[in-house]
């Protein structure tokens, strides 16, 4: 089986071709709330079972006293509770499988106020008793599984696909703050923009225009920092040659690929070194804080990067290795309509803390990490890709499409945004390759 991985480590741009990742995602999705089995004390399944019992008891209690959980304001008035507590209680009834709700059930004292309000409205003693027992079961399940609500939210984020809880983002923010303090660097925005299209001189291959960079990169200590490392690997993690040329069009740029008109300062000091199969692009040591505030943008044209067609289940993907503490990640992919990929490139997050070395495709399934954020389709036209963090972004897109000699209208775009992307991970976006036309 042939397989390539184009690796640009920070950015890491990757291609791999195999059906392995598909089965891995199917297995990961099996941990969804809807499919969780009944479990023993101390398990996530036990918490879910206790939560659903509590939800059913509250639903019956509200029905008995004529409270409509879909109307929070009216419920607050009927129960005589403050709006905040009424909202938290009624959303339990409204939300069957939302991890944010499951881990944010009000505490015993607040729930007691709700029960007393229902008793005043004429709730039957049997309903009150059932709800009290359900509260006890839920509290015991949480204690047995995770000790407290905050830890429970973290546990759920690792067992449920599509978690909407704000707890994972809070954790990533703490990681960002700690990592920035320890390593002495931080950035406002990390972005990756990829255009994938049929190779003009060989329509059985795919070319790519790859632009990446940092906005608001600053040193907290006077040190150099590797912005990215570039290489191509096959499925076994072995380096392979590839055709690369800078999008800048500058013959004398020594392969840097800096798009100077989008950099600030216009010519940041970048040093290139090679070793271990990688080419490293490093921002030189400089002033700290706002005095050294830097925006770096690199652009590369990759020719004949990978096959356009596949007779067996294969995929092509682009990856970014996240090693710099960053507030916001923007990962845009624009895929030429002629490639007919049938949907937006998918998203996967891979662990690079416990699996720091190599890019062996066979290891990917056990490196998957949970991620709730999913890509969204960008509106047609360059104006639809506006990003508040990068006011010059539409101009950049015009520049890219001009240099790859492809009209922007020929592409379908999608965006993945992630607040405080966790360092020591790889974020991948990929799409399926289809058999050649008959």
Residue 129's alpha-carbon distances to 24, 116, 119, 123, in angstroms, are 45, 12, 11, 10
Side by side, which strands form the sheet with 314-322?
Answer: 314-322, 425-433, 346-351, 368-369
Instruction: Spell out the per-residue pLDDT of the chain, length 438, in tens.
Output: 333 334 443 333 443 433 333 222 223 333 333 333 345 667 888 888 888 889 889 988 998 999 988 888 899 999 999 999 999 999 888 876 666 788 889 999 999 999 999 999 999 999 999 999 999 999 998 888 887 777 787 777 665 544 445 667 888 999 999 999 999 999 999 999 999 999 999 999 999 999 999 999 999 998 899 988 777 676 677 777 778 889 986 544 557 889 999 999 999 999 988 877 777 888 999 999 999 999 999 999 999 988 999 988 888 888 898 999 999 999 999 999 999 998 999 999 999 999 987 777 788 889 999 888 899 999 888 988 988 888 899 999 999 999 999 999 999 999 999 999 999 999 999 999 999 988
Q: Give the domain ranges of the chain.
A: 4-31+167-433, 33-157
Give the long-range contacts of residues 135-141, CB within 8 A, separation 24 or more.
135/54, 135/108, 135/111, 137/50, 137/53, 137/54, 138/47, 138/50, 138/51, 138/53, 138/54, 138/105, 139/108, 140/41, 140/50, 141/41, 141/46, 141/47, 141/49, 141/50, 141/51
Residue with tokens 């009150």: 128
Collapsing DSSP to helix, strand or coil, 417 comes out as strand
């Amino acid at each position: 089986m042939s397989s390539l991985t184009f690796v640009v480590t920070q950015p890491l741009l990757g291609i791999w071709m195999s059906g392995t990742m598909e089965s891995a995602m199917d297995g990961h999705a099996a941990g969804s709330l809807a499919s969780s089995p009944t479990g023993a004390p101390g398990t996530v399944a036990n918490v879910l079972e206790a939560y659903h019992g509590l939800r059913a008891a509250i639903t019956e209690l509200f029905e008995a006293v004529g409270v409509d959980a879909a109307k929070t304001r009216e419920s607050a008035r009927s129960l005589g509770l403050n709006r905040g507590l009424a909202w938290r209680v009624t959303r339990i009834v409204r939300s069957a499988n939302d991890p944010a709700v499951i881990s944010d059930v009000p505490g015993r004292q607040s729930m007691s106020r709700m029960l007393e309000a229902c008793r005043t409205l004429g709730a039957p003693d049997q309903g009150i008793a059932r709800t009290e027992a359900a509260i006890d079961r839920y509290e015991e399940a949480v204690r047995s599984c995770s000790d407290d609500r905050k830890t429970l939210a973290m546990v759920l984020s690792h067992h449920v696909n599509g978690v909407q809880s704000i707890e994972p983002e809070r954790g990533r923010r703490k990681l960002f703050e700690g990592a920035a303090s320890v390593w002495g660097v931080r950035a406002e925005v990390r972005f990756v923009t990829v255009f994938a299209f049929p190779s003009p001189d060989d329509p059985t291959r795919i070319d790519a225009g790859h632009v990446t960079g940092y906005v608001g990169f600053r040193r907290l200590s006077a040190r150099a920092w590797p912005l990215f490392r570039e290489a191509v690997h096959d499925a076994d993690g072995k380096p392979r040659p590839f055709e690369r040329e800078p999008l800048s069009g500058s013959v004398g740029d020594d392969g840097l690929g800096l798009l100077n008109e989008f950099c600030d300062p216009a010519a940041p000091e970048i040093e290139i070194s090679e070793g271990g199969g990688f080419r490293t692009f490093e921002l030189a040591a400089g002033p700290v804080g706002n005095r050294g505030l830097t925006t770096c943008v690199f652009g590369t044209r990759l020719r004949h990067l990978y096959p356009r067609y596949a007779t067996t289940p294969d995929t092509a993907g682009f990856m970014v290795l996240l090693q710099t503490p960053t507030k916001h990640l923007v990962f845009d992919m624009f895929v030429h309509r002629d490639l007919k990929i049938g949907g937006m490139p998918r998203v996967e997050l891979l662990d690079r803390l416990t699996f720091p070395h190599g890019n062996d495709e066979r290891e990917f399934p056990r490196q998957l990490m949970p991620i709730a954020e999913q890509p969204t389709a960008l509106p047609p036209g360059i104006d639809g890709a506006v990003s508040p963090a990068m006011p010059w972004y539409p101009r950049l897109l015009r520049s890219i499409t001009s240099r790859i000699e492809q009209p922007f209208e020929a592409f379908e775009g999608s965006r993945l945004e992630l607040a405080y992307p966790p360092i020591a991970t790889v974020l991948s976006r990929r799409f399926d390759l289809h058999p050649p036309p008959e």
